């Protein structure tokens, strides 16, 4: 994880009633100098699983506007 940009934290919701999995953003992860993560959650996942990934450009723009 050498890229120091913030990461998005998501919950992936899968349900037979959904046509495709729903990705719900629930927080932001920041990478420290020692490559460890600080994760700040706005919600807790009911399934106990989190997915951390790079933000797309539009997500980064929304992140800057919210700050």
pLDDT (tens digit, 9 = 90+) per residue, 33-42? 999 999 999 9
- Whether residue 56 is contained in a domain is answered as yes
- Determine the straight-line distance between the first and last CA of the chain, rounded to whole angstroms: 23
Half-sphere exposure of 3 (CA within 13 A, CB side): 7
Total structural domains within the chain: 1
Confirm whether 51 is domain-assigned: yes
Express each pLDDT in 40-51 by its tens digit. 999 999 889 999
Domain span including residue 33: 7-66
Specify the pTM.
0.75
24, 14 Cβ separation under 8 angstroms: no
Domain-embedded: residue 21: yes
- Residue 58's contacts (CB-CB under 8 Å, 6 or more residues apart) are none
In a domain, residue 22? The reply is yes
Separation CA 60–CA 51 (nearest Å): 17
């Amino acid at each position: 994880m050498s890229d120091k940009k913030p990461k998005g934290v998501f919950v992936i919701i899968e349900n037979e009633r959904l046509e495709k999995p729903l990705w719900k953003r629930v927080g932001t992860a920041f990478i420290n100098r020692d490559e460890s993560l600080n994760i700040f959650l706005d919600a807790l996942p009911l399934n106990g699983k989190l997915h951390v990934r790079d933000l797309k450009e539009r997500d980064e723009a929304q992140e800057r506007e919210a700050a």
